[in-house]
Structure 1
Amino acid sequence: MPRTWLTDRFGLDVPLVGAPMAGVGDGRLAAAVSAAGALGMFGVPTGAPASWVAGQAAVAAGSGRPYGVGLMAWALADDPGPLEAVLDARPALVAVSYGDYGRYVEPLRRAGITVATQAGTTEEARAAERAGVDVVVARGGEGGGHGRDEVATLPLLQSVLEAVTVPVLAAGGIATARGLAAVLAAGAEGGWAGTAFLGCAETTLPEPARRRLLETGETGTAYGRVFDVAQRLDWPPEYGGRALRNAFFDRWHGREAELAGDDGARAELAAARRAGDYDTAYVYAGQAVGMVRHGRPAADVVAGFAAADELLSRFARPDSPDPAPGS
């Protein structure tokens, strides 16, 4: 694989980060991705206590390789416990995004932690650089889970690479070696992939949700705030979520104001999650879901991404011959 800022910073074999998928990816998945030669991460769900963060950090560290943690800035404002646990654990990388993240950058950096944030527009990337982050994640609207849906990955990546001087990773729709090779060729220091790992047994995804995901094609996702509004989560409104389209989403999309006051719908969603009814309950995933067809160990997914090296080498130009004397 080509050496990049990402591989050199963390001693990786593959320039890839496993995205911190809160509620789906915990320390076990992070450890598996890191052990395979990429950088595994786990995300901190809303309301998770500091003890949970500490426990999952210990599991992630069990690989003996660097790992990372994803934090939601808007949630930290009400509960700083997860941040304190992260500072104690000192993972190699922390991504803090979505909300007023700037106040957390320096405390993390003082602890020797590399700090990233996800940016969905070029202006967000510029603001991240001004805030002092070490690396920007240019996340296109194709990505699963939460983020902006305003710019697709490829145009966003090109623009961000022109706009900032800090290293840039690319996220959104990167699920195979071809996607990783494409963003590396464009100038990214690595890829940031979540959906590609959703079929892995190392996730906490319930089996009915995994089956539904593996059966979903590339047009089977939808973006919006339905599931957040139904749960009364205080996500900033500019950050909706991309999930598998289902009957609950279709019923309430465009009626979010009404949904916000419907306690019956809130209870219905909670009951569906308990029952494993994914015509109502949600599964967050990106537009690359159509390429996730089989359940595989995380190590196999990372190995598949490593084939980007072969793709890139096919287009590498051999050294030009020395000019002929006198030419």
Structure 2
Amino acid sequence: MLRTWVTDRFGLELPVVGAPMAGVSDGRLAAAVSAAGGLGMFGVPATAAPSWVAQQAAVAAGGGRPYGIGLMAWALGEGAGLLDAVLDARPSLVSVSYGPFGRYVEPLRQAGIVVAVQAGTTDEARAAEQAGADVVVARGGEGGGHGRAEVATLPLLQSVLDAVSVPVLAAGGIAGARGLAAVLAAGADGAWVGTAFLGCAETTLSDPARERVIGTSETGTAYGRVFDVAQRLDWPPEFGGRALRNAFFDRWDGREEELAADEGAPAELAAARRADDFDTAYVYAGQAVGMVRELRTAAEVVGEFAGAEKLLSRFKS
């Protein structure tokens, strides 16, 4: 068995945490990942209501296994009551990242919740440790969804492991046993995995969105702020998003100021999402998307990571 801080702390079979992908991972996916032996999480969208958090937490906790919730620090001031809803739910783990996260760490820890912070640079990892985070997630620029893109996972992980004394999870580009073995060999306590689950029926993605994911190669993503600007979201500008490249992104990439002033763009994007038109609408995904080749269950995805133990056993004396 692969035993690390994260498996021992949460009673997991594998050191795999399902990334809290807001808008993709809800309580159903979180419960499925946890039931399979990992730690499932769901992400809280900026527009979510506290009642939604409570509902999804009940679903995630339904199997009696530990689970986690992901929060975006920049959105907590807007979403009145979200932090209280999370505190009431008492998940095993809460990730609070992207924005002024420091003020939320201690209230979560006082409630007995393990706190993770995602970091895209070594300085961010140090800041997370200084703020009292129990675990740092070293998230490389290959990762899907939002974060920094300045440093790739492997160089970031090596630097963060040398810089902090708290446990470290690796995120970005890890989609199977080989990736998990690599980061464990480097010294990480586990992998924070998102894109590998995008082909799963337990996500909230529509069938056309999943088909788009499965049909995309490893070079088919793009990083930037186009989709955030089009939606008028207040993401801090240093945190762009990696998504499947499409015609809408290519049209506006590098023209974000014009996009911010374009009155028709938000409605165009919203209409495309309703119509499952992914030449315009977005699907956030990382560079590991080329490894998502078929529809699978969350249990099958988690189970595939077990092969890391055999890979690592080659180096035992």
Question: Normalization by structure 2: what TM-score?
Answer: 0.99
Q: How does 1:43-54 map to 2 (within 5 A)?
A: 43-54=43-54
Gaps of 5+ in 1: 318-327
State the Cα deviation string for residues 167-202 of structure 1 (Å, max 9, x = none). 000000000100000000000000000000000000
Alignment partner of 1:169: what SS? strand
Q: How does 1:211-222 map to 2 (within 5 A)?
A: 211-222=211-222
Please tell me the residue identity of whatever aligns with 1:136: V
Partner of 2:171 in structure 1?
171
Alignment partner of 1:260: what SS? helix
Partner of 2:133 in structure 1?
133
Structure with max Cα Rg: 1
Aligned-partner Cα distance in 2 for 1:46–1:208: 24
Alignment partner of 1:146: what SS? strand
Q: How does 1:299-314 map to 2 (within 5 A)?
A: 299-314=299-314
Shift in Å, 1:79: 2.0
Q: How many percent identity over aligned positions? A: 80
Aligned-partner Cα distance in 2 for 1:168–1:75: 25
Please tell me the residue identity of whatever aligns with 2:16: L
Shift in Å, 1:215: 0.2
Partner of 1:109 in structure 2?
109
Aligned-partner Cα distance in 1 for 2:35–2:176: 19
Partner of 1:144 in structure 2?
144
Partner of 1:245 in structure 2?
245
Aligned-partner Cα distance in 2 for 1:146–1:2: 29
The 8 Å contact of residues 2 and 13 in structure 2, kept in 1 or not, is answered as no
Gaps of 5+ in 2: none
Aligned-partner Cα distance in 1 for 2:264–2:245: 20
Partner of 2:33 in structure 1?
33
Aligned-partner Cα distance in 2 for 1:291–1:22: 21
State the Cα deviation string for residues 106-136 of structure 1 (Å, max 9, x = none). 0000000000000000000000000000000
The 8 Å contact of residues 48 and 79 in structure 2, kept in 1 or not, is answered as no
Partner of 2:85 in structure 1?
85
The 8 Å contact of residues 180 and 308 in structure 2, kept in 1 or not, is answered as yes
Aligned-partner Cα distance in 2 for 1:123–1:270: 36
Partner of 1:209 in structure 2?
209
Partner of 1:294 in structure 2?
294
Shift in Å, 1:63: 1.6
Partner of 2:3 in structure 1?
3
State the Cα deviation string for residues 297-324 of structure 1 (Å, max 9, x = none). 000000001111111112212xxxxxxx
Q: How does 1:248-263 map to 2 (within 5 A)?
A: 248-263=248-263
Aligned-partner Cα distance in 2 for 1:172–1:88: 30
Aligned-partner Cα distance in 1 for 2:147–2:42: 17
Q: CA RMSD in A?
A: 0.5
Aligned-partner Cα distance in 2 for 1:28–1:314: 36
- Alignment of 1:280 onto 2:280: yes
Please tell me the residue identity of whatever aligns with 2:114: T
Aligned-partner Cα distance in 2 for 1:275–1:4: 44
Partner of 1:324 in structure 2?
none
Aligned-partner Cα distance in 2 for 1:190–1:124: 19
The 8 Å contact of residues 46 and 79 in structure 2, kept in 1 or not, is answered as no
Aligned-partner Cα distance in 1 for 2:241–2:32: 26
Shift in Å, 1:267: 1.1
The 8 Å contact of residues 202 and 297 in structure 2, kept in 1 or not, is answered as yes
Partner of 2:156 in structure 1?
156
Alignment partner of 1:263: what SS? coil
Q: How many residues align?
A: 317
Aligned-partner Cα distance in 1 for 2:112–2:7: 18
Aligned-partner Cα distance in 2 for 1:266–1:112: 41
